[in-house]
Amino acid sequence: MQRRTLLKAAIGAPFMPLVATAASAVSPPDDFSFAFISDSHIRPDLDADKGCAMCFEQISASDYDFVIQGGDHIEDALEVSRERATMLMDLYQRVERRHLRKPVHHVLGNHDCLGVFAKSGIDPSAPDYGKQFYIDRFGPRYYAFDHKGVHFVVLDSVGLTDDRNYEGRVDAEQLQWLRADLAAQPKGTRIIVATHIPLVTAVQCYQPESWANTPHNWTFVVNGREVLRILRDYDVLAVLQGHSHVFEQIELNGIRFISAGAVAGADWRGSFLGTPEGYSEIFVSGRTVEAKYRTYGFAASNRQDVPI
């Protein structure tokens, strides 16, 4: 059973907004802010397209320099037909183009991979199978970019398994690329990493109990230690994470691990484990990274908040 299905089953506590609409602040020229959005899970019902548009318009009205979209752009491509997945991705891209008027850097999410579950009826030999469906729309599954002296590394943390499922994993090809990319940076370069499935999270301590009943580890990157051993030799300020639908911050060895929450909340049915529909505002000042959670005023029509 997918997380999306599990979210539907939960019934919950009253909605408690964390932080209201975004606010702009005067900052020194070298400081900057950006929006880290994740898990929009767009679909044609439950007012999901309206909710995404509301969120994107709020961000577009801000002074953020850019946006990182942390993955799971659409409701699902894992187990649906190609026609359904294509319709959902067309819908997402149409809403983003119309309402998100900022530069956007995309991250691959598990729900952005086409036909991985056998239920989809899609043959693995299809040219757009799996991650290629995402690549055709957004480009490379892992890459880097620079902004105001900060080097951003975007990772693909979705490991497709031989039994047509997935787990959190950064593959060997990427690990080799990551070592080379970071080694090429000038000494002392500030680095921020973005990934969909978390490297470090506490969500397994309070997630729905049924989430443990999965064929593979869907909660975090199973070879996260390998990634952390590479990162520890560099000036990594933060790791931005999606997937869990909660807003969470953990600091480990001087690195802040920030989970973004979800634009969709509990898949457009309310808040999830206390995190309502929203996104993370990230502010970078020198070697300090701060995060605030921003809601955008969406009210689910069939509210079923998921409590801890």
Q: Give 22's pLDDT tier (boundaries 50, 70, 90).
A: very low
Tokens of 24: 């702009």
pTM score of the predicted model: 0.91
Task: Give me the pLDDT at residue 223, please.
Answer: 98
In a domain, 63, yes or no: yes
Beta bridge partners of 147: 150
Q: 104-106 and 143-147 as β-strands: parallel, antiparallel, unpaired?
A: unpaired
**Is the distance from CB of 131 to CB of 158 less than 8 angstroms?**
yes
In a domain, 201, yes or no: yes
Cβ-count burial 91-125 (b if 16+ within 10 Å, e if not): bbeebbeebbeeebbbbbbbbbbbbbbeebebeee
Beta bridge partners of 37: 69
Q: How do residues 143-170 score in pLDDT, each as one tens digit?
A: 999 999 999 999 999 999 999 999 999 9
The rounded percent of the chain whose pLDDT value lies above 90 is 88
User: What value, to the nearest 5°, has the Cα angle with vertex 137 and ends 78 and 279?
Assistant: 75
Beta bridge partners of 247: 260
Q: Give 210's pLDDT tier (boundaries 50, 70, 90).
A: confident
Residues in CB range of 13: below 8 A, 6 or more apart: 271, 274, 305, 307
- Output phi, psi for 205, to 5 deg: -80, -20
Region of 114 (left: φ > 0; alpha: ψ -120 to 50; beta: rest) is beta
In a domain, 106, yes or no: yes
**Is the distance from CB of 246 to CB of 203 less than 8 angstroms?**
yes
Q: Is the four-CA dihedral 75, 76, 77, 81 of positive or negative sign?
A: negative
Cβ-count burial 43-71 (b if 16+ within 10 Å, e if not): beebbbbebbbbbbebbeebebebbbbbb
In a domain, 307, yes or no: no
Task: Give me the pLDDT at residue 276, please.
Answer: 98
Residue type, 77: A
Q: Give 195's pLDDT tier (boundaries 50, 70, 90).
A: very high
Q: Give 21's pLDDT tier (boundaries 50, 70, 90).
A: very low
Q: How do residues 253-296 score in pLDDT, each as one tens digit?
A: 999 999 999 999 999 999 999 999 999 999 999 999 999 999 99
In a domain, 179, yes or no: yes
- Per the document, the length of the chain is 308
Q: How far apart are CA 184 and CA 85, in angstroms?
A: 38
Question: Average pLDDT of 20-41?
Answer: 73
Total count of domains within the chain: 1
In a domain, 116, yes or no: yes
In a domain, 221, yes or no: yes
Q: How far apart are CA 118 and CA 134, in angstroms?
A: 18
In a domain, 171, yes or no: yes
**Is the distance from CB of 19 to CB of 292 less than 8 angstroms?**
yes
Task: Give me the pLDDT at residue 183, please.
Answer: 98
Task: Give me the pLDDT at residue 2, please.
Answer: 52
Q: How do residues 67-126 score in pLDDT, each as one tens digit?
A: 999 999 999 999 999 999 999 999 999 999 999 999 999 999 999 999 999 999 999 999
Please give the span between the terminal C-alpha atoms of the chain, in angstroms, as a whole number: 20
What CATH number is attached to the domain comprising 134? 3.60.21.10
Domain that holds residue 277: 32-295
